[in-house]
């Protein structure tokens, strides 16, 4: 058996206030394993603003600066500037925000920080809805999902709009490094976090973060559902470095129905609707594959 490449050292104390089976808990854990303790985190309103515990408790071994919901991009710019003034250029500055705080209310500040080439890592932990307020739709909620603001009544008013493609948005900013990670693939996750740390400029990490209450998921199935998202190509693992696309986990593509059927939030979907999702997933994968192949050809 190969030894694991994941450092054994933990940078988070046990006993935070996350829900059972919380994916975001693992996102923070693996991220810090990759980054180490010369790290500062800025955090807007989100589950992780509550999870470190009530004052004066703090479950992480790195300092955390709280900021307003929409302000993460600005906050990391300010922290970076202050640390640079103090001559602490080697400290990694991280913005750690949920999907609503990133693709919706925080998109302006995020775009500003990326455009200014702020030397920081922005991590979006994507649980695909406003989970801290109790499962409301965000721009990152996928097509077909139930949330409390996309209820499935007689009119079947579930989410009818596709998920906002934040990776495409960040790639359009020309960032030096953008990667997707999943809590089901910690070796890949930690490797990418470490790689992001060692690149300068604005780096972006999109982490899939299953939410058992919000996804209507058995809390024991967090890893399983995350792995299924990767294996069904719903959430491909890849990185974009200097514009070059590299798929880090090439999968055969299990049927998306496997992924969808594990979660109550998709339980209302008809076979036709599942087939439509399958077509969208296939299409997105082939676009990604073509991009990756084009990069291979150039090299």
- Whose Cβ is closer to other proteins: residue 82's or residue 168's? 82
Q: List C-alpha distances in Å: 206 to 17, 169, 257, 258.
A: 23, 12, 23, 23
Contact between 124 and other proteins by CB under 8 A: the answer reads: no
Among 52, 101, 210, 212, binds other proteins (CB under 8 A): 52
Q: Which stretch binds other proteins (CB under 8 A): 52-60, 156-164, 174-182, 236-244?
A: 52-60
Interatomic CA distance for residues 207 and 25, integer angstroms: 11
Per rule CB under 8 A, is residue 66 in the interface with other proteins? yes
Using alpha carbons only, give the angle 52, 190, 197 rounded to the nearest 5 degrees. Answer: 85
- The verdict on 74 binding other proteins (CB under 8 A) reads yes
Backbone dihedral region for residue 209 (phi beyond 0: left; psi -120 to 50: alpha; all else: beta): beta
Any contact of residue 82 with other proteins (CB under 8 A)? yes
- CB neighbours of 23 closer than 8 A, spacing ≥ 6? 125, 127, 183, 208, 209, 210, 211, 222, 226
278 near other proteins (CB under 8 A): no
The residue within the footprint of other proteins, chosen from 28, 35, 60, 170 (CB under 8 A), is: 60
Site pattern 130..159 for other proteins (x: CB under 8 A): ------------------------------
| Position among 70, 99, 119, 128 found at the interface with other proteins (CB under 8 A) | 70
By residue count, the chain amounts to 299
Cα 115 to Cα 142: distance, rounded to the nearest angstrom: 27
Considering the complex, state which of residue 116 and residue 268 has its C-beta at the smaller distance from other proteins: 116
Q: Which of 17, 94, 13, 86 lies closest to 48 in space, CA to CA?
A: 17
Instruction: Dump the DSSP string for 265-291.
Output: GGTT--HHHHHHHHHHHHHHHHHHHHH
Exactly one of 2, 14, 15, 55 binds other proteins (CB under 8 A); that residue is 55
Contact flag: residue 105 with other proteins (CB under 8 A) = no
The least CB distance from residue 214 to other proteins, in Å, is 20
- Among 22, 26, 46, 79, contact with other proteins (rule: CB under 8 A): 79
Number of residues interacting with other proteins: please give it, by CB under 8 A: 45
**Burial label, 221 (beta-carbon count in 10 A; 0-12, 13-18, 19+):** middle
Alpha-carbon span 116 to 206, nearest angstrom: 20
44 with 10: CB under 8 angstroms?
no
Is position 101 an interface residue for other proteins (rule: CB under 8 A)? Answer: no
86 binds other proteins (CB under 8 A): yes
78 binds other proteins per the rule CB under 8 A: yes
Integer Cα distance of 224 and 243 in angstroms: 31
Task: Please tell me whether residue 256 binds other proteins under the rule CB under 8 A.
Answer: no
19 near other proteins, judged by CB under 8 A: no
Contacting residues toward other proteins, per CB under 8 A: 37-38, 40, 42, 49-50, 52-58, 60-68, 70-71, 73-79, 81-86, 88, 91, 108-109, 111-112, 115-116
């Amino acid at each position: 058996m190969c030894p694991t490449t994941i450092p054994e050292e933990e940078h988070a104390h046990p006993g935070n206030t996350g829900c059972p089976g919380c994916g975001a808990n693992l996102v923070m854990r693996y991220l810090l394993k990759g980054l180490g303790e010369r790290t500062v985190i800025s955090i807007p309103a989100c589950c992780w603003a509550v999870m470190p515990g009530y004052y004066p408790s703090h479950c992480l071994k790195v300092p955390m600066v709280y900021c307003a919901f929409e302000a993460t991009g600005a906050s990391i710019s300010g922290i970076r500037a202050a640390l640079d003034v103090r001559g602490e250029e080697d400290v990694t500055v991280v913005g750690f925000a949920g999907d609503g705080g990133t693709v919706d209310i925080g998109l302006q500040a995020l775009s500003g920080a990326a455009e200014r080439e702020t030397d920081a890592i922005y991590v979006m932990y994507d649980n695909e809805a406003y989970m801290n307020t109790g499962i409301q739709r965000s721009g990152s909620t996928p097509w077909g999902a139930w949330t409390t603001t996309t209820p499935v009544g007689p009119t079947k008013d579930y989410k009818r709009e596709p998920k906002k493609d934040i990776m495409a948005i960040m790639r359009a900013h020309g960032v030096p490094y953008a990667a997707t990670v999943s809590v089901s693939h910690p070796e890949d996750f930690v490797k990418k976090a470490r790689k992001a740390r060692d690149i300068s400029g604005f780096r972006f990490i999109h982490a899939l973060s299953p939410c058992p209450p919000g996804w209507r998921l058995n809390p024991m199935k967090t890893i399983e559902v995350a792995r299924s998202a990767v294996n069904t190509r719903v959430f491909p693992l890849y990185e974009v470095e200097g514009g070059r696309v590299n798929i880090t986990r090439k999968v055969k593509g299990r049927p998306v129905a496997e992924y969808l059927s594990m979660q109550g939030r998709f339980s209302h979907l008809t076979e036709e609707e599942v087939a439509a999702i399958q077509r969208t997933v296939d299409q997105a994968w082939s676009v990604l594959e073509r991009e990756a192949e084009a990069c291979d050809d150039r090299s």
